[in-house]
Structure 1
Amino acid sequence: MAEEKVVRFGILGCAGIARKYVRAIGMTPSSSVYAVASRSVDKAKAFASANNLPPEVKTYGSYEQLLDDPCVDAVYIPLPTSLHLEWALKAVHKKKHILLEKPPALCVEDFDTIIEACSNNEVQFMDGTMWMHHPRTPKMKAFLQDPDLFGDLKSVHSSFSFAGSGKFFEEDIRVKPDLDAHGALGDVGWYCIRAILWANDYEMPQSVIAHPRPVLNEGGVITSCGATFSWQDGRVATFYCSFHSPLTMDLSVHGSKGILKLHDFVIPYEENSASFFSSTNTQFGEMDTVWGPRPNEHTVTVEFPQEIFMLQEFARLVNRIRNSGGKPDSQWSSISRKTQIVLNAIKTSIQEGLISVTL
């Protein structure tokens, strides 16, 4: 068996979320931070210093310099969504594997261009939806797939919101039409859409329709919205995402026999453990004054934060390509593409006067 090699990461941009990845890469034996790039070398050096990176980490004053470094195996790209197409393509053409912040693209056509380039250059793609890689996630899926405990899927409801400050609405890239034009839909809504598709085994809905009264800022960027999904067999799903409500990360999945619920599906309350609740065949008691049985709490104890599990999986796929001649795993690009399609359909529904969009 070929010796497992460390995946040397280049960080393409010094966004706030990049700090979380630098920490996680440092905790992952199969990965290391090799270089950091910003639009100025001083900013790159300041980022490296603030995140306690060792002095041997390279700092570059342009993204091109980092991509030209032959020692960089993969890049993490936390740039604004409007820059994803340009820099993802430049990275891929330099044979760099890419871990791309969500949403990956402004539209499905741009996403397909990125994935075609990844395929042609035999590099791995993955988006940064961390909760997909937490060990709690397959435990929850096992409950949903149990015909005796959960039954047939009927509905899914998800929400992710946080209350932005005045400074957030003035300065954050997520409310700027030229930087992150999808706003709350692309940021927190991405997770809600992904959760709905995940619960439905990634079977696409027949149609989606945005809820009335989405909130848009003066630049036309969505800061709060919701939508309903429908499937031909009667399944339904709803979600709500917002920059105007207190921090919430709820997921509720309803079956013909059971229900799954949790309140921290995007980021667990704690790094070393995560729980979910399930109930089966719950009924009213005598005179409808009580009901039960009460939900069961299932706790999954882990050694690492969820972002490390994601990086471990990414490194495994990269090493499979470079050590044994394997092909890029298309699972993650397929899931991302479906999420992107639904996201853009919801945005179309909002822009076209809350019309139902058939997928």
Structure 2
Amino acid sequence: MRVCGDFQLPLHFNCSEKKFQMAKDEIPVRFGIMGCAEIARKVSRAIRLSPNSTLYAVASRSFEKAREFALQNNLPDDIKLYGDYTELLEDPFVDAVYLPLPTSLHLKWAVKSAQKRKHLLLEKPTALDVKELDEVLEACEANGVQFMDASMWYHHPRTEKMKDLLSNTELFGLVRSIHSSSSFCGTPQFLESNIRVKQDLDALGALGDTGWYCIGAILWAMDQKLPTTVTALPTVARNSAGVILSCSASLHWDDEQTVATFFCSFISHETMDLLVSGSNGTLWVEDFIIPYGENSAEFSFTTGARFLDLHVGWNVKPQEIRVDTPLPQESMMIQEFSGLVKGIKEQGSSPDGRWSCTSRVTQLVLDAVRKSIENFFEPVYM
């Protein structure tokens, strides 16, 4: 333990491996991957590491692409390979679908998946706008399937620990300001040919990709409450096709007197920062989206900070808190999703609507930022 102001905080948390063990007689959730995007490599590994799931099938636009994906990722010989997305959905043994297709294809294939009663793990951004997302969510609700977007950082035990501290009004107080950033400097090849800079594939560009994380982190800190106003800042960079390469915005909550800002970009150095300031504390994490390491993650927390007499220093220093995890955060996501699916299949539970709500409010704010940009940076009232 180390003293943090007038309080003591443990500097190291361990997430016990016992809760992640699965009885040998339990049947794992059988995943099908629809689309062989680069991110699917990471998620295929996560599915295989999770104790309550198994990778059952992979589908691509051709059988050859599916087979190449299987070979590149050392998938077992008995995995099902399909050269058509519909064939995957027709397979009665597929319980859940992970869908990392371009955003422009989400509506079609997410709705088809739900209609086939396949539980849906959908890559972010979830849709081109909230109208499309609502069609996806309505299909999931109508067919009793679990929905979750694939924002992995929510599922790291560090995130839960950070939320515990933000919710402690004695230590942290009320949230007053938030800043998040998610950026990387794309290579010339990325900026020329990646699907995320193509108007017909991922028209939201950096706002939909890296901005999704920023907006999600801000809303997470505000317990998913929508802001009163959203205003894009006049710092937007676009490519020749009009796709956003970089942008920023401010959000304001009138009742809470809270302000938030974010910056997202494909043309700036790597950042994954989240800074939350309260009336009595500050939380800062440098790698909130992808931790520096798989097995543990850290964040900085300060409470009760004051200047010393004559302003020659501070009465406390930030405390570095480490949280261990037995699984990578993407496997934690798969495990949580699979647990919800198993509850529906085996116990008759209802789908957990929390994840639909989280995605929907994120999409609403993303839409508001886009609208503000299109309206020459006028405020959008939520």
Classify the TM-score, shorter chain.
Answer: over 0.9
Equivalence map 1:335-354=2 (5 Å): 335-354=358-377
Is residue 2:291 matched to residue 1:271? Answer: no
The separation in 2 between residues aligned to 1:152 and 1:213, in whole angstroms, is 30
Q: CA deviation at 1:292?
A: 3.7
- Counterpart of 2:380, as a letter, is V
The separation in 1 between residues aligned to 2:267 and 2:307, in whole angstroms, is 36
Is residue 2:65 matched to residue 1:43? Answer: yes
State the Cα deviation string for residues 2-54 of structure 1 (Å, max 9, x = none). 96421111110000000001111111121111111111101100000110000
The separation in 2 between residues aligned to 1:38 and 1:14, in whole angstroms, is 6
Provide the residue aligned with 2:177 in structure 1.
Answer: 155
Q: CA deviation at 1:147?
A: 1.4
Is residue 2:281 matched to residue 1:281? Answer: no
Match for 2:214 among 182, 192, 196? 192
Provide the residue aligned with 2:119 in structure 1.
Answer: 97
Match for 1:108 among 116, 125, 130? 130
- Counterpart of 1:294, as a letter, is K
Provide the residue aligned with 2:144 in structure 1.
Answer: 122
Unaligned runs of 5+ in 1: none
The separation in 2 between residues aligned to 1:144 and 1:39, in whole angstroms, is 45
Q: CA deviation at 1:327?
A: 1.3
Is residue 2:168 matched to residue 1:170? Answer: no
The separation in 2 between residues aligned to 1:271 and 1:126, in whole angstroms, is 22
RMSD: 1.0
The separation in 2 between residues aligned to 1:128 and 1:23, in whole angstroms, is 14
The separation in 1 between residues aligned to 2:375 and 2:342, in whole angstroms, is 45
Is residue 2:219 matched to residue 1:206? Answer: no
Match for 1:245 among 257, 268, 271? 268
8 Å Cα contact 1:4/1:319 also seen in 2: no
Provide the residue aligned with 1:25 in structure 2.
Answer: 47
Provide the residue aligned with 1:305 in structure 2.
Answer: 328
Provide the residue aligned with 1:357 in structure 2.
Answer: 380
Provide the residue aligned with 2:4 in structure 1.
Answer: none
The separation in 1 between residues aligned to 2:32 and 2:140, in whole angstroms, is 17
Provide the residue aligned with 1:330 in structure 2.
Answer: 353
The separation in 1 between residues aligned to 2:209 and 2:109, in whole angstroms, is 19
Provide the residue aligned with 1:77 in structure 2.
Answer: 99
8 Å Cα contact 1:91/1:97 also seen in 2: yes
Is residue 2:94 matched to residue 1:59? Answer: no
Task: Tell me the TM-score normalized by structure 1.
Answer: 0.98
How many pairs are equivalent? 358
State the Cα deviation string for residues 310-346 of structure 1 (Å, max 9, x = none). 1111011101111011111111001100000000100
- Counterpart of 1:334, as a letter, is C
8 Å Cα contact 2:235/2:248 also seen in 1: no
The separation in 2 between residues aligned to 1:241 and 1:20, in whole angstroms, is 22
The separation in 2 between residues aligned to 1:334 and 1:53, in whole angstroms, is 34
The separation in 1 between residues aligned to 2:186 and 2:73, in whole angstroms, is 25
The separation in 2 between residues aligned to 1:269 and 1:134, in whole angstroms, is 13
Provide the residue aligned with 1:220 in structure 2.
Answer: 242
Match for 1:256 among 272, 276, 279? 279
State the Cα deviation string for residues 86-116 of structure 1 (Å, max 9, x = none). 0001111111111000011111111111111
The separation in 1 between residues aligned to 2:45 and 2:315, in whole angstroms, is 43
Match for 2:344 among 321, 338, 349? 321
- Counterpart of 2:48, as a letter, is G
Is residue 2:34 matched to residue 1:12? Answer: yes
The separation in 2 between residues aligned to 1:4 and 1:318, in whole angstroms, is 13
The separation in 1 between residues aligned to 2:89 and 2:374, in whole angstroms, is 37
Provide the residue aligned with 1:138 in structure 2.
Answer: 160
- Counterpart of 1:355, as a letter, is E
State the Cα deviation string for residues 268-327 of structure 1 (Å, max 9, x = none). 001000011111121222322322410011100111100111111101110111101111
The separation in 2 between residues aligned to 1:48 and 1:310, in whole angstroms, is 22
- Counterpart of 1:105, as a letter, is A
8 Å Cα contact 2:33/2:97 also seen in 1: yes
8 Å Cα contact 1:8/1:34 also seen in 2: yes
The separation in 2 between residues aligned to 1:77 and 1:170, in whole angstroms, is 24
Unaligned runs of 5+ in 2: 1-22
